[in-house]
Amino acid sequence: MRLVPPLAAAVLAVAAVFASAPAAAAAPAATHYVALGDSYSSGVGTGSYDPSSGNCKRSSHAYPALWAASRAPASFAFVACSGARTGDVLANQVGALSASTTLVSISIGGNDAGFVDVITTCTLGTDQDCVNRTNTAKSYAQNTLPALLDDVYSTIRGRAPSAKVVVLGYPRMYQVPGSCAVGMSNTKRSAINSSADVLAQVVAQRAAARSFTFQDVRTAFTGHEICSPSWWLNSLSWPVEESYHPNRAGQANGYLPLFAAAAG
């Protein structure tokens, strides 16, 4: 039997310890996060807003703020704004992006397609009025919105060339049939939901064209729509702008997990 000199044995023992030890986890790269978009990203519907955000109504209960509070990124620019359209993102929000931005979230397109007017028409008009207005919105989403989204997405990529970009969609508003005893008919509810379906398809296609990650929230909100047993969305509310937006549960349980899963 060959004897190992004491010094050599010690070296071998130390080497064995290091070889068997698990590799240390790599330190996460610094995250510089910018949250763009409309009221679904600013947090309208949650009932509590940062006074300094004015009419943009940014909330600490919105998914961007919730994610930032739990992950403590190196920087966080929350510029999503209630009522924003694609043109507003280009004019007022993309300035927050830079070459150092590593993560971007955005929901946009619903206001361009006339979501507010769809809800107003369906609330006040007949079933046929509602169907006609939703058909107009769907036509806009299919024929006009794609180019507008392309402009926004290409600008984001140009300003933040290395960022992971997460695009979040919009939920269906209603469970059909649902438990609501009064309010909109099932015809109106179905028409509004069909608009959400078309919008999701268009946004997903344009996001994919830029290799952005699209997170479809419709599945997450299934079983939690208006008229379901557990609402994650406000129906007609006061103040009126709170209506037809995710409530705190919708932000925390619907939007946040999907964004977190994509953000890493």
pLDDT value at residue 183: 79
Q: What's the whole-model pTM score?
A: 0.87
User: In CATH, which superfamily holds the domain spanning 29-263?
Assistant: SGNH hydrolase (3.40.50.1110)
* Percentage of the chain exceeding pLDDT 90: 82
Count of helices and strands (H, E) across the chain: 11, 5
> Domain coordinates of the chain in residue numbers?
29-263
Kindly tell me if the per-residue pLDDT of 12 is higher than 80. no
- Determine the average pLDDT of the residues in 8-28: 37
Q: Which of 54-63, 115-124, 154-163, 189-198 has the lowest mean pLDDT?
A: 115-124
CA distance 34 to 242: 24
**Dihedral Cα 145, 42, 45, 153, nearest 10 deg:** 20
Strands (E) across 48-110 are located at 75-78, 103-106
Q: What are phi and psi of 243, to 5 degrees?
A: -65, 145
pLDDT value at residue 181: 65
Q: What is the pLDDT of residues 35-76, one digit of tens each?
A: 999 999 999 999 999 999 999 999 999 999 999 999 999 999
Q: Return the top range by mean pLDDT from 3-17, 155-169, 228-242.
A: 155-169
* Percentage of the chain exceeding pLDDT 70: 89
Q: What is the mean pLDDT of the chain?
A: 90
Residues forming the active site: 39, 245
Of the candidates 71, 84, 1, 86, the one whose C-alpha atom is nearest the C-alpha of residue 32 is 71
Note the helical H segments in 176-237.
186-209, 218-221
Note the helical H segments in 144-255.
145-159, 186-209, 218-221, 248-249
Indicate the residue type of 21: A
Residue 73, C-beta contacts closer than 8 angstroms, at least 6 positions apart:
30, 31, 32, 33, 103
Contact 206, 258 (CB under 8 A): no
